[in-house]
Amino acid sequence: MDSSLTITLQIVITVIAGIAAQVIAELVQVPGIVFLLIIGIVLGPSVLGWLHPDQLGVGLEVMVSLLVAVILFEGGFNLQLRELGRVSDSLRNLVTVGTLLTMIGAGMAAHWLSEFPWSIAFLYGSLVVVTGPVVINSLLRHVKVDRQVATLLEGEGVFIDPVGAILAVVVLNVLLTDNPSPLNIGSDLVIRLGVGGGIGAIGGGLLGVIVKRAKFLSEDLKNLVVLASLWGFFGLAQTIRSEAGLMATVVSGVVLRASALPEERLLKRFKGQLTVLATSVLFILLSADLSIAGILALGWGGLLTVLALMFIVRPLSVWICTWNSDLNWRQKIFLSWIAPRGIIAASVASLFAIVLAQRGINGGDSIKALVFLTIILTVVLQSISAQAIADLLQITSKETTGIVIVGCSPLSLLIARLFLERGESVSLIDTDPDSFPENLDSNIKPFVSSALDTEVLEEANLATSGTFLAMTNNGEVNAVVAQRAVEEFAPPRVLAVFPGDAQVTVLPKVQQAFTPQLLLKTWNEYLTSGDIKLGETTFREEGLEFQQAHLRALVDAGSVLPLLIERDRVLQVFTAETEWQISDRLIYLLHDPKPKLLKLLSGSSQLRLTLEELPEIEEIPLLESASSRE
């Protein structure tokens, strides 16, 4: 078969297999890297023999370099400096002190348990200090943990990759050099980081200015300009100093994100798609090149080395690096467990195996095998168990409390009061200062400003709140504000009110609050005039269908407005898509249009609404008639 056709088929099989693995992963809701590793190994020479990455020659190294640059740029571009500021101390410690602790601990484990020579053992240690940003992001898409933990994991994954890759190159140079001086070792590391960081910062800043001012460029062309530029930064840094390109791509991504591009959402989507493709291709190729016989040859020593890294070295590093942080013990345990190794470790290990073989130094294949065993065990075990551990530790995003409400009205004030009574924080944003009552509860944080101002949302603690609710009288405004909240802060629950006459298009992550045809102005008038009751009911297994049908009929008739629902001890704003379940506690408003005089005489008029079980809801006509027939 013609060599060009052979290489073409190798690439075609790789892409098809990689995308198929991602589709399967989406179907079963696990990180894609799990299936990428499995399918890559199966297609490789060790099993089916359909893929032979060595046939790509030096092209494999070129592909790895350019695609890794895309992955790291996308990781840096997704980071928000505002969120990183909250965990900056812990992140700095993990990237510096944590890196050193991991290298030393992993090196000692490899020497004592796998019987590697000290030089080879510490080379292994330098390779596994990195955690894969792609794996982390994929895992966090399926396992929703609180933002502080997620930000720390994302930041560590992005920043430690270039640092770890440069550290590994420095350690390799020490191994290949006779009598290296500590000064040369330190200067080598600093120069690479400095060159990459400088080129990335300057290049990212200039690119941001160009993209914002070049009005003649179409959105599609701007995306390609960014792609060409990031490869340019990578190539320039690599030319000046080897392995400096990775830091350049990360820093340029962070700086470009800070430039606040108007096309940011489209650029993120484009880079996200490229990253999925790059990850799919790289992991299929690198895992296909893996020798199963080499992994089995490591024996129990290799397995114990990886387990020591997971259960001793990583927890020790996390607890030391976060000693003075405000992280609680639950968050620290989760951070100690989640540290999957990824594409950087795999690609650099494959490269080092070739370099060591060329220099006639034994141990290259053993390092590669042990690194891939580390990747397989950390990715598979941590991906499968992450959700269960997060649930057990109660650090999932659904456990996050607090609400930020946009639009001050009688209805929003009532919702704010109900959240306050649960001990949750409440912030209220409105552009009209007259909308806030004079007797506003002192525990509510008021903001007279636009909710499109990210600084206001920051001061309102949206980054640490569980719910964002936009409920002004303008459906289009609510949609835009909710989209901004998703893009800038990504709180666990984002809801917006869309009045019945509004035609809006929203992001998939924005839920419609309350009911599809809510007349917000009408219910505010009911509250102002006192034609309202505040009720609660719990869904019981007995007569559940009758209870649901009765409530739906009242909601459709405009007599009942579901407000909040308590499920698994978590209070949430009711959404148009909410399905009622057994044991759910529903808080609602009931329109009570009795004459004012009658309400005064019956004592039902109240200055402050109180929760009660209302007979209009609890007494279900169909259920009572069925019981009487029995």
Q: Is the pLDDT of residue 189 over 90?
A: no
Among 82-86, 321-325, 395-399, 434-438, whose mean pLDDT is lowest?
82-86
CB atoms within 10 A of CB 273: 12
Provide the residue count of the chain: 630
Question: What would the mean pLDDT of 572-585 be, rounded to a whole number?
Answer: 88
What is d(CA 494, CA 506) in angstroms, rounded to the nearest whole number? 11
Q: Is the pLDDT of residue 303 over 70?
A: yes
Contact 496, 472 (CB under 8 A): no
CB atoms within 10 A of CB 181: 9
Among 86-100, 173-187, 232-246, 454-468, whose mean pLDDT is lowest?
173-187
State the chain's mean pLDDT as an integer: 85
CB atoms within 10 A of CB 490: 18
Output b/e per residue, 321-345; b: 16+ Cβ within 10 A: bbeebebeebbbbbbbbbbbbbbbb
Q: What is the pLDDT of residue 629?
A: 45
Q: Is the pLDDT of residue 71 over 60?
A: yes
The arrangement of secondary structure in 400-629, i.e. its CATH architecture, is: 3-Layer(aba) Sandwich (3.40)
Residue-wise pLDDT for 216-227, tens only, equals: 888 788 889 999
Q: Is the pLDDT of residue 578 over 90?
A: no
Q: What is the pLDDT of residue 321?
A: 94
Among 7-21, 171-185, 464-478, whose mean pLDDT is lowest?
171-185
Topology at the third CATH level for domain 3-398: Na+/H+ antiporter like fold (1.20.1530)
DSSP strand pairing (585-591 vs 493-496): unpaired
Residues 6 or more apart whose Cβ sits within 8 Å of residue 68: 246, 278, 282, 343, 344, 347
CA 220 vs. chain centroid, Å, equals: 26
Question: What would the mean pLDDT of 536-559 be, rounded to a whole number?
Answer: 87
Q: Is the pLDDT of residue 178 over 80?
A: no
Q: Taking the model in full, what pTM does it have?
A: 0.75
Structure tokens at 430: 């409105």
Q: Could you give the angle at which helices 147-176 and 88-95 cross, rounded to 10 degrees?
A: 20
Residue 518, CA distances (Å) to 495, 561, 575, 579 in order: 14, 8, 11, 18
Q: What is the pLDDT of residue 394?
A: 84
Q: Is the pLDDT of residue 626 over 50?
A: no
Q: What is the pLDDT of residue 258?
A: 83
What is d(CA 158, CA 78) in angstroms, rounded to the nearest whole number? 10
Q: What is the pLDDT of residue 597?
A: 53
Cβ burial of 189 (10 Å; 0-12, 13-18, 19+) is middle
Q: Is the pLDDT of residue 410 over 90?
A: yes
- List every span in the chain annotated with CATH 1.20.1530.20: 3-398
Q: Is the pLDDT of residue 625 over 50?
A: no
Most confident range (mean pLDDT) of 47-51, 310-314, 625-629 is: 310-314
Among 90-94, 183-187, 303-307, 570-574, whose mean pLDDT is lowest?
183-187
- List every span in the chain annotated with CATH 3.40.50.720: 400-629
Residue-wise pLDDT for 449-464, tens only, equals: 999 888 888 889 887 7
Task: Grade residue 87 by pLDDT with cuts at 50, 70 and 90.
Answer: low
Nearest to 493 by CA among 512, 471, 467, 511: 467
